[in-house]
Amino acid sequence: MIRVGQGFDVHQLTEGRPLIIGGITIPYEKGLLGHSDADVLLHTIADAALGAIGEGDIGRHFPDTSEEFKDADSKVLLQDVWSMVKERGFKLGNVDCTIMAQMPKMAPHIEAMRNQIAELLEADPSQVNVKATTTEKLGFTGRGEGIASQAVILIEQA
């Protein structure tokens, strides 16, 4: 059996926070705001995986009203989600992600993100693809107010 899921997430850019995307800390003057470390890409992948197994979204499993998840490391959240995927007898087929950010340039960090995501999903980096696009200065991402991300995941019976 195969299952697919998709995820989408947005976080606001603000001063005084580190910019963590795909588990990688990216040098930049601003970072993403959130209850957790606000790793927009890992949240997107977690949502896609939860979608694939029909388990809602990360807000349901890790509420932003809970102190337990304040400043949470999103790598740990994704690992928890991945345990649920494995418990149901699935492994990764592939995951394809797009980061929407006007700035900073993601290209120098894409390979590190890919390797980190593969490690978290216990897969080979060839099963993970990460892309980035500006939104041509249009909308909230184009104005640099926030960063958005989307992902599609395919999981298959282990």
Ligand X SMILES: C[C@@]1(CO)OP(=O)(O)OP(=O)(O)OC[C@H]1O
Ligand Y SMILES: Nc1ccn([C@@H]2O[C@H](COP(=O)(O)O)[C@@H](O)[C@H]2O)c(=O)n1
Binding-site ranges for ligand Y (CB under 6 A): 101, 105-107, 132-134
What is the contact mask toward ligand X in residues 62 to 81, using x (rule: CB under 6 A)? xxx----x--x---------
Distance of closest approach, residue 14 Cβ to ligand X, in angstroms:
13
90 binds, among ligand Y, ligand X, none (CB under 5 to 8 A by kind): none
109 binds, among ligand Y, ligand X, none (CB under 5 to 8 A by kind): none
Q: Which residues ranging from 37 to 56 are in contact with ligand X (CB under 6 A)?
A: 38, 43
Task: Establish whether 10 is an annotated binding residue.
Answer: yes
Tell me the three state secondary structure of residue 102: coil
CA pair distance 106, 21, nearest whole angstrom? 9
CA pair distance 109, 147, nearest whole angstrom? 15
Q: Which helix (H) or strand (E) holds 56?
A: none
Strand partners, 156: 2, 91
Which residue in this structure is represented by tokens 């990360």? 58
Burial profile 11-30: b = 16 or more Cβ within 10 angstroms, e = fewer: bbbeeebebbbbbbebebeb
106 binds, among ligand X, ligand Y, none (CB under 5 to 8 A by kind): ligand Y
CA pair distance 59, 43, nearest whole angstrom? 10
139 binds, among ligand X, ligand Y, none (CB under 5 to 8 A by kind): none
Contacting residues toward ligand X, per CB under 6 A: 9, 34-36, 38, 43, 58-59, 62-64, 69, 72
Binding residues for a divalent metal cation: 9, 11, 43
Binding residues: 9-11, 35-36, 43, 57-59, 101-107, 133-136, 140, 143
